[in-house]
A and B are shown apart, each in its own frame.
Chain A
Amino acid sequence: MSVEAGRQGRDGLHLSRFATWDVAIIVVTVVFLIFAVTSVQHFGTSQNATFLVLELAPILLLALPMTLIIVTGEIDLSVASTVGLTSSAMGVMWNSGVPLETIMPLCVVIGAVLGAVNGFFVTALGLPSLAVTIGTLALYRGLAFVLLGDTAVADFPRSHSSWTIGTIGETPIPNVLVPMIVLAGLFAAVLHAMPVGRAIFASGSNRVAAAFAGIPVAKLKFWLYVTSGAVAGLVGVFWTLRFSSARADNAHGLELTVVAAVLLGGVSIFGGKGTLPGVLAGVVLLSSLQNALRLANVSSEALTVVTGSLLIISVLAPNILGRVRGVLRRRLRRTHVPAPNP
């Protein structure tokens, strides 16, 4: 009796292994790309690919540490504001004559410090990260405006800004793709192939059990926030150079796009579940969908609706699937169990 029940449970799982959302989203993304290349005019050109990469670069970069943070069950809504603040800081430093070679690492450090502030409040005081990072979202953006006001600093050296949008030699491969791939590989390795990744999943899956396995959960989260800040600092530099414009409102509102992409990639907002390839697919799907819809002259209104719907469906669909499967399994079991007493 119980053996039989066990086997059915396994069969159900067998199914679900192939229907996990991150696998699904990767498939959907690939299918969509093939569809778009063949049937959306101009989508398949090499130049459009370059544009697409440049467009999704900041989202992708911010999504990397965001994925790790959400897998631990926390969230960081302040990333876009951190980008804005480092961009402002970059402008101020450049105006006062600091060389770019000094500014760039400094910006990453500034980002890391801002991340550490988040990390402190979340881990040392145990405050809910949603509330903390809504607060620092406003705080960092405010400080960005305090630093640079409404002005823009735009006279960065052409060589640097054209590198950010340039391609490798004559190929259509954007320069930024190289660091993007390196970073994505690094984060994927950390999350999926290194001991610390196991600790990240454990912390998000069951904080108490993680602590019982000797994982320093608070310390881990703190350093993830620092990483998130540092990457946001890097994106701040990239953004500033790419648009050749250091401004306090750079990347305004980007945090929601990043969170949306991560969730779309199959990461559970409650932590413990998700894969980096899934997130990469989520980012690519979101960006290429918008790109293709724009090329097909679909209005920006529709883009907004599509983004929101995708997000809801990405969670709703597996839930509904799961429930359907549960009902089916119960039906099956009913038929196997001897009929209940009268």
Chain B
Amino acid sequence: MPAWPPGERPAVRLTGASKSFGSVVALRDASIDIHAGEAHALVGENGAGKSTLIKILAGAHRPDSGTLEIDGHPVEFSGTAAAKAAGIAVIYQEPTLFPDLTVAENIFIGRQPRTRFGLIDRARMNREASVLFDRLGVPLAPDRPARGLSIADQQVVEIAKAISLDARVLIMDEPTAALSGVEVDRLFAVTRSLRDDGAAVLFISHRFDEVEALCDRVTVMRDGARVSTDRLADVTIDQIVRRMVGRELGALFPKEDVDAGDVILKVDGLSREGAYRDVSFDVRAGEIVALAGLVGAGRSEVVQGIFGVDPRDSGSVQVDGQTLPPANPRAAMRAGVALVPEDRRQQGLLLDLSIIRNATLARRHRLSTLGFLIGGSERREAEEWTGRLQTRYGRLGDPAATLSGGNQQKVVLAKWLATGPKVLIVDEPTRGIDIGTKAEVHRLLSSLAADGVAIVMVSSELPEVLGMADRILVMREGRLSGELSRADATEESVMFLATGREAA
């Protein structure tokens, strides 16, 4: 293996990039350089700014400051088309397909092969798509519409799209999150051959085995900035993880010890076709039960099924011995269940409505006098709860969209805490929020548990799971694969249950 970095100039170099969305700072002085012929891993916690960084490379975001060089020449992308023209191909974290177009067209949109008269040569386009799919080892029909493709197949189309560009720089944001083993192997084979042909590859993943299998160098990001860049051979996974987190974890998880009370939430044999099957567990008063697992294991679906925002096929949910009707969130709320959803922007907030409205939406009936919401009851309630959660805002009448991500999360928490739940379900309660806020949220969960609330916490962050939970339920592929007590739980034991690799 040649010495890194090799003598030549990097294919892509980003230096001093910063980017804010409103008051959320996603990147601060971030840098990366990727060389031709290398596969470069980019790792970091959720919200570290990885996706934002690659969106800048892709021309989808314009950095607030910083310079971008391609082959040593400074460039400024006016849009994704410019990045594409400069030879950068991107697979985004979320598939961005056109559901109404065929699979082949999705791959070649804007650069379909043409006949002499400028007409699109569909036959050739389909042939070329088939060749790509063969290369990836996936039997997708090129002329089927993208609508209805599974997440995995959508991801395959995205990969095919990126590969077909014959790009000099290939950027992949968690391309494997939804893929199965064969597809991942093929993807890696293709990627290696591209790399060996001189392409620069940037690879983002939360799976370290993949990073080890594919990459030559690794850059670690934390809080929007680069922490380190090393040859993978020179560092251990442990070191990388420490750099990702960057702090002593103890302070982050102020877990109080609580004696568990009676069973409050009882979930029995819950199933939904295509999402999860036969999920059963109990949660006691004062207990924090974590639902751990890989992304896509179906944890969100389970808690949404419990709360009733999604229909379920079979199984029952009881709160305090009382059975909840399926697909009826109102009944769940009446029984004392609260769900803080995982995607606060899509599921949690009315972004263009005021903080007051957001914070009191779930309590609108109880706050009314004689059916009318007058006399400032909503404002008082919003003031009280945002105050308790130390939310920072301009004025309560401002739209929720103006808040920083962490404060948005607090508003969603406030909305549900205000209902005085007996069962509090939090799905990724700290996703995308900063360390300080994280600690606050954890303190809050802990003290709620101390007050006798039964808490279900879905989290993809292992330290959070380990630091906060009394019990850990691990899900894999829609089923509960095991349960660990606080004492037995280690990163390894949880990961083993989550991935199914038997080691113990």
A residues sitting closer than 8 Å to B (CB atoms) are 1-2, 5-7, 9-10, 13-14, 17, 189, 193-195, 197-199, 201-202, 205-206, 208-216, 272-273, 337, 339-342
Contact = CB atoms under 8 A, between A and B. Distances in A.
B302 to A, nearest CB: 15
A6 B404 CA distance: 9
Given A13-B394, A339-B65, A341-B67, 9 more contacts: A195-B364, A195-B371, A198-B373, A209-B348, A212-B339, A212-B341, A214-B362, A216-B330, A273-B352
Contacts of B50: none
B15 A341 contact: yes
B491 to A, nearest CB: 31
B338 to A, nearest CB: 10
A195 B377 CA distance: 12
A211 B329 contact: yes
B147 to A, nearest CB: 15
Contact of A211 (B309, B368, B398): B309
Which of A1, A7, A210, A214 has the most CB atoms of chain B within a 10 A radius of its CB? A214
Contact of B330 (A6, A206, A214): A214
A7 to B, nearest CB: 8
A219 B166 CA distance: 51
A13 to B, nearest CB: 5
Contacts of A194: 368, 371-373
Contacts of B398: 10, 13
Contact of B348 (A10, A195, A212, A341): A212
B402 A195 contact: no
Contacts of B404: 2, 6
19 contacts: A2-B23, A2-B404, A5-B23, A9-B402, A194-B373, A195-B368, A197-B373, A198-B357, A209-B350, A210-B350, A211-B329, A213-B329, A215-B361, A216-B330, A340-B66, A340-B67, A341-B15, A341-B67, A342-B67
Contact of B350 (A17, A205, A214): A205
A199 B349 CA distance: 13
B385 to A, nearest CB: 15
A13 B402 contact: yes
B365 interface: yes
B261 interface: no
Given A193-B372, A194-B371, A212 B65 contact: no
A300 to B, nearest CB: 39
Contacts of A201: 350, 353, 357
Contact of A337 (B65, B341, B353): B65
Contacts of A341: 15-16, 65-67
B361 A198 contact: yes
B346 A208 contact: yes
B116 interface: no
Contacts of A215: 361
Contacts of B361: 198, 202, 213, 215
A340 B65 contact: yes
Interface string B413-426: 00100000000000
Interface in B16-36: 16, 20, 22-23, 25
A342 B66 CA distance: 8
B374 A272 contact: no
Given A2-B23, A337-B64, A212 B309 contact: yes
Nearest to B344: A209
A202 B353 contact: yes
B347 interface: yes
Contacts of B5: none
B23 A6 contact: yes
